[in-house]
Chains A and B, each alone.
Chain A
Amino acid sequence: MNREPDDELLRSYLLGKLPEEAADRLEGRLLAEDDLFELAEAVETDLLAAADRGGLVPEERERVMRRLASSPQGLERLAFVRSLNRAAAEKGGNGNVERFVPRAPAFQPRAMRWMAVAASLVMVTGLGWVAWKYRMHPPEMKMPPSTPSATQSVKLTPAPVPIIPPPDQTPRPVSPGTVPSKKPRHTVPAAVVALSLMTRGDDQVAQLHLSPGTPKAEIQIDASALDDSKSFSVVIRNDHGTVLETRGLKVTRLEGDPVLVVVVDKPAQRLAPGRYDAAVIPEGEEEMGTQVFEVVQGTL
């Protein structure tokens, strides 16, 4: 959603982010222009409502609470907006107001994961077999039959001869009981969980299986609901509402793919087993939606 210029200016002013001179100029306008002043109060209410719903990034929420909700009048406004949020939620719960329709994922997250693993195995096995066979039995080059015309002689360029590796590099069958000289390195793959902002409710909670040695966890969020927003932040909270430290969180949006990928380094240390919710917040906007997922202790 594109903000209108005054809206953005007022938001910055109310959050205390406007430079001193710009704030002074704006205050001159606020005194003289009734419409602008009214809009400022409306934006203030929006900020309080968003802060109450948990729809702001922590830094902005703290600014709202300290600057707009610290005085007795501010506290009163916050309490009013909280009641209004609840009344509106009740109304929405009664079905009188249009709600987002939950969309069930095509596959259960667990099934998707196993299908991905199976597909990878089949592909790797197939490619390995083709490569091995090619090395052992390189295909013969067949020349197409030449059909020289009476008027034109065609000189065919021989196809390049495939390079066959020297005999000592060809794979040798390993006799039973032989121990390979180099043991293949065993790595724990990154754990992945796929979430969709359109899926709501607790009936289908995606699970992130974390083994102790997992180096990275990827939280993939379907971001097709994010319209044209360019920058996002993702807030991950545990079920006590504590926000996961954002350092080490890497959020990327894949080119041409409406998927946000949040990479969490050393996830076993940072994501204790339990429920979390991931909230996507476009820059300068309120929270777009949250999705619950569960971290469970996995096994190798």
Chain B
Amino acid sequence: MTRRDDEGEDEGEEKPPPVKPEGLTRESFEILLAQLDPDRDRAGERYETIRRKLIRLFEWRGCAAPEDLTDETFNRVARRIAQGVELHSADPYGYFCGVAHLVFKEVLRRASREHRALDTNGELLLPAPMPVIPEESGDPRLEYLRQCLAALPPDQRDLVLRYFQGESNIRHRKTLSEELGIPMNALRIRVHRVRRKLEACLADCLCRHPERPS
């Protein structure tokens, strides 16, 4: 399955055409897009946004194959549309959310039948043990990240470094939000946007030079 990157949201960036979910015919996909928005470009953007969000929602629920479950959700919605169901173009999210919940509950039931690990809340747990992150030695991330940080505008660099600084950074963040005169959640979102830029830069560096930087 093609993994779609969620990072490129800058103005003027040319967006790739929406990728049809597996198991869906071209015709069904076009009908689905038409239901999302009469304008095909805007429909494509909406489709990508919903897709990206559904993947994260399935991830946050602890599902092991979030992209497959997202495709399954789109397939079902497209089938309903083919059967005559109409989405409210102003708010199609509720329908997608309802179908995604059904998909998730089916996964839970299937997992339960297969005696897979379920916790007390009935949530599907990933079978993986506690993850072990490799130490920095041999990992080029830190060096590339330094380069990406250096390429940021100074105010954004200082913002993100101050936000993540210190073993006890609650005070830093409080001070930072007061200095900027914005609520804490607005600060979080502002930092998150800078972080996404950094993440995209780092991914690009790792893609071009996967070995340790010189």
Report the separation of the CA atoms of residues A55 and B149 in the bound assembly, to the nearest whole angstrom: 24
Q: Which of B61, B128, B168 has the most CB of A within 10 A?
A: B168
Is A92 a contact of B93 with CB atoms below 8 Å? Answer: no
**Contact of A233 with B by CB under 8 A:** no
Answer yes or no: B191 CB below 8 A from chain A CBs.
yes
What residues of B have a CB within 8 angstroms of the CB of A44 in the complex? 60
Classify the secondary structure of A's interface with B: helix
B130 contacts the other chain (CB 8 A): yes
Q: Is A28 an interface residue (CB 8 A)?
A: yes
Please judge, given known A-B contacts A4-B183, A66-B126, whether A24 and B101 are in contact too, CB under 8 Å: yes
Choose from A42, A85, A286, A290 the contact partner of B189 (Cβ within 8 Å): A42
Distance of B32 from chain A, by nearest CB (Å) = 16
Among B60, B158, B173, B191: residue with most chain A CB under 10 A: B60
A87 contact from B93, B121, B128, B149, Cβ within 8 A: B149
CB of A44, distance to nearest CB on chain B (Å): 8
- Nearest B residue to A286, CB-CB: B170
Does B97 contact A28, Cβ atoms closer than 8 Å?
A: yes
- Which of A38, A52, A288 sits near B192, CB closer than 8 Å? A38
Size of interface on A: residues with Cβ below 8 Å to B: 68
B119-174 residues at the A interface, CB under 8 angstroms: 119, 121-123, 125-126, 128, 130-131, 133-134, 136, 139, 141-142, 145-146, 149, 158, 160-174
Q: Is the CB of A39 within 8 A of B174?
A: no
Binding stretch for chain B, among A75-83, A215-223, A255-263, A265-273: A75-83
Given A83-B142, A87-B142, A91-B165, verify A1-B56 contact (CB < 8 Å): no
Whether the Cβ atoms of B164 and A88 lie closer than 8 Å is yes
Chain B, 168-210, contact with A by CB distance < 8 Å: what is the 0/1 string? 1111111100000001110011011101001100100000000
Interface centre among A49, A54, A62, A84 (most CB of B within 10 A): A84
- Decide if A71 touches B146 in the complex (CB within 8 Å): no
CB–CB B189/A38 < 8 A: yes
- Across the two chains, which residue of chain A brings its CB closest to B196? A41
A193-228 residues with Cβ-Cβ distance < 8 A to B are none
Inter-subunit contact B93/A41 (CB<8 Å): no
Whether A71 touches B126, Cβ cut-off 8 Å, given contacts A27-B101, A31-B96, A84-B160, is yes
Q: Does B64 contact A (CB under 8 A)?
A: yes
Q: Which residues of B contact A65 (CB under 8 A)?
A: 130-131
Cβ-neighbour of A13 out of B60, B184, B192 (below 8 A):
B60
Q: Which residue of A lies closest to B145 (CB)?
A: A83
Q: Is the CB of B93 within 8 A of A75?
A: no
Bound: A37/B51 CA distance, A: 13
Would you call B202 and A92 a contact (CB within 8 A)? no
Chain B residue nearest to A93 in the complex (CB): B165
Nearest 4 CB-CB pairings of A with B: A42-B192, A88-B164, A31-B93, A42-B188
Can you list 29 pairs linking A and B with CB atoms under 8 Å apart?
A24-B101, A27-B57, A31-B93, A34-B49, A37-B53, A37-B56, A39-B189, A42-B189, A55-B168, A66-B62, A67-B126, A70-B128, A71-B59, A71-B64, A74-B59, A74-B131, A79-B134, A79-B141, A83-B141, A83-B202, A84-B160, A87-B164, A89-B166, A91-B165, A97-B161, A98-B175, A286-B169, A289-B168, A290-B168
Q: Which B residues form the contact surface with A (CB < 8 A)?
A: 49-50, 53-54, 56-57, 59-62, 64, 66, 91, 93-94, 96-97, 100-101, 119, 121-123, 125-126, 128, 130-131, 133-134, 136, 139, 141-142, 145-146, 149, 158, 160-175, 183-185, 188-189, 191-193, 195, 198-199, 202
